[in-house]
Amino acid sequence: MNRADPRTASSIPPFPTFVLLTVLVTCFAVPSVRGSALDLEVRPGNRTVLIPGPGTGDLQIRIIAPDGEPVNDRPPLNLSLVIDKSGSMADEGKIDHVRMAAHRLVERMGGDDYLSLVTYDNDVRVLTRPRPVADRHYFHHLIDGIHPGGRTYLSGGLEEGYRQAKKARRRGYINRVLLLSDGLANVGVTDRRQLTRRAGGMYEDGISISTFGVGYQFDEDLMTRVARGGGGSYYYISDPGDILAALNREFTLAARTVATEVEIVIRLLGGCRFDSVIGHSFDREGDSVIIRLGDLSAGERRTLMAKLRVSAEQTGEIPVADVSLRYRDPASGGIRSNRTTPVLLEVVRDADEYSRGFDRDVVETRTVMESSVRAEEAAEKVDSGDREGALGILRKVADTLRKAAPSSPAARQELERNEAYQDQIMGMDGMDDRRINEVQKGVKYRSYQELHQK
């Protein structure tokens, strides 16, 4: 399988015989109904595409967990909590907050849940192999004994957490590694791409990964990629006092999981070609493109945008793709899929007819998402020392947002964030390294939340 860059939002030059189709995918998860299936709804953002010229067309795809009486019980959990106890965890009481959050996690887990505890610094230590959370005193005693010291063997902690979770992996359970760190990986494997691929392999093996970055010294790009590859969530925790809230939220998401290994399958038809997807990676399998969304929990939303090139030379209705959904049911462990939804678009030569067909909500969503991607690109420019380049990206995006802002609250809010980041960049000469790192991590985290609806 060929995997593409997950942060692509390229503009495509005009093609006289191709129509550019933008695919908007919105995922909604609502309270679980045992035995129910996710629904897939497909609605064109514009019922037409225009030729000659490149043309544009939008397609919104919604994944919805149907309404119904929620089940009273929840899926049992198999969690592996992996804690960074390197020397820097002693700063600002971080290790104390981690211990407090771990104690709270133990209290929230049930007697049928499994928990393993792993710590890492220079080395990796398994405090306990996975066992049912029946004797809470046993876990509390182990957590009280965690003290900081040493370097940051993050890859070793991740691997051991995966091994422990795999030992207790079983049908009907939510299997997840919770990886916490406050520093840069400086022992073992430190390459971002290698660790991202490894996290993807763990997820394909049924173990999802969520990451928690604490403070201002950790590698946010690494932690984001590992969570994205591992099908879980990434949390930026600027204040150590917020560790408890983040871990509580992750427990709630895991306990309310309604579907795992969720995938959108787009089968391309009639010369249609896949171009890119914003904020997500994708794989190619024959004539289909697979977009992996990870796990979905009740009440969770996600939105992604993909682009297709559609061959069109004659007017009339044409099939461009078949869209389907598949996922694993956490209760039974079985793979489910919905019926295929065909995507049909009307090719026209009348520009007025084409302009009347736009769905403004879809256009607004695309504008905000593309702005989030550009903000990440600007942040990368700042990281590399090119602040003027970053400001150039942001100013260009701001011009687009201003055009959309009068009728779009979301665009106005995004414009405010854009202008605030410009002000921060221009004021960085007066900031210390810590403050600059906090600004950078905050901007990237907001982009992550916007693109993944976290």
User: Based on the domain organization, do 121 and 175 belong to the same domain?
Assistant: yes
Q: Which of the four pLDDT bands, split at 50, 70 and 90, describes residue 91?
A: confident
The CATH number that applies at residue 417 is 1.20.120
Q: CB under 8 Å to 206, separation ≥6 — which residues?
A: 166, 169, 175
Dist. CA 309–CA 115, nearest whole Å: 47
User: Based on the domain organization, do 62 and 81 belong to the same domain?
Assistant: no
Which of 367, 361, 378 lies closest to 413 in space, CA to CA?
367
**What is the chain's length?**
454
User: Based on the domain organization, do 97 and 183 belong to the same domain?
Assistant: yes
The CATH number that applies at residue 229 is 3.40.50.410
Q: Domain range for residue 422? A: 360-452
Q: Is 5 a domain residue? A: no
- Mean pLDDT calculated for residue range 395-424: 92
Q: Is 8 a domain residue? A: no
Q: Is 441 a domain residue? A: yes
pLDDT at position 308: 81
Q: Which of the four pLDDT bands, split at 50, 70 and 90, describes residue 150?
A: confident
Contact between residue 153 and residue 124 where contact means Cβ atoms under 8 Å apart: yes
User: Based on the domain organization, do 250 and 280 belong to the same domain?
Assistant: no
Last residue within a domain, chosen from 230, 255, 280 = 255
pLDDT at position 19: 45
User: Based on the domain organization, do 133 and 24 belong to the same domain?
Assistant: no
pLDDT at position 302: 77
Query: Is a pLDDT exceeding 60 seen at residue 72?
Result: no
Query: Is a pLDDT exceeding 70 seen at residue 18?
Result: no
Query: Is a pLDDT exceeding 50 seen at residue 26?
Result: no
- Tell me which of 269 and 164 has the higher pLDDT: 164
The mean of the pLDDT values for the chain is 85
Dist. CA 62–CA 48, nearest whole Å: 20
- Mean pLDDT calculated for residue range 248-275: 87
User: Based on the domain organization, do 86 and 189 belong to the same domain?
Assistant: yes
pLDDT at position 3: 56
The CATH number that applies at residue 310 is 2.60.40
Query: Is a pLDDT exceeding 70 seen at residue 199?
Result: yes
Q: Is 437 a domain residue? A: yes
Query: Is a pLDDT exceeding 70 seen at residue 56?
Result: no
Q: What 3-state DSSP class applies to 355?
A: helix
User: Based on the domain organization, do 133 and 222 belong to the same domain?
Assistant: yes
List, in sequence order, every beta strand (DSSP E) within 329-379.
Answer: 335-337, 341-348
The residues with which 114 forms a beta bridge, in sequence order, are 78, 132
pLDDT at position 9: 41
User: Based on the domain organization, do 234 and 85 belong to the same domain?
Assistant: yes
Q: Is 289 a domain residue? A: yes
Range scoring the smallest mean pLDDT among 28-37, 187-196, 258-267, 305-314: 28-37
Q: H-helix or E-strand containing 77?
A: strand 77-84
Encode pLDDT of 123-134 as tens digits: 999 999 999 999
Q: Is 1 a domain residue? A: no
Query: Is a pLDDT exceeding 90 seen at residue 380?
Result: yes
Last residue within a domain, chosen from 324, 355, 386 = 355
Query: Is a pLDDT exceeding 70 seen at residue 23?
Result: no
Last residue within a domain, chosen from 221, 255, 289 = 255
Burial label, 379 (beta-carbon count in 10 A; 0-12, 13-18, 19+) = buried
Contact between residue 293 and residue 26 where contact means Cβ atoms under 8 Å apart: no
Q: Is 58 a domain residue? A: yes
User: Based on the domain organization, do 86 and 233 belong to the same domain?
Assistant: yes
User: Based on the domain organization, do 351 and 371 belong to the same domain?
Assistant: no
Total domains in the fold of the chain = 3
Encode pLDDT of 362-378 as tens digits: 888 888 999 999 999 99
Q: Report whether the peptide linkage leading into residue 342 is cis, meaning its omega lies within 30 degrees of zero.
A: no
Q: Is 12 a domain residue? A: no
Q: What is the DSSP string of 176-200?
A: EEEEEESS---SS---HHHHHHHHH
Residue 415: CA count within 13 A, CB half-sphere:
17
User: Based on the domain organization, do 168 and 249 belong to the same domain?
Assistant: yes
The first and second tokens of residue 235, run together, are 């949390």
- Mean pLDDT calculated for residue range 98-113: 93
User: Based on the domain organization, do 334 and 426 belong to the same domain?
Assistant: no
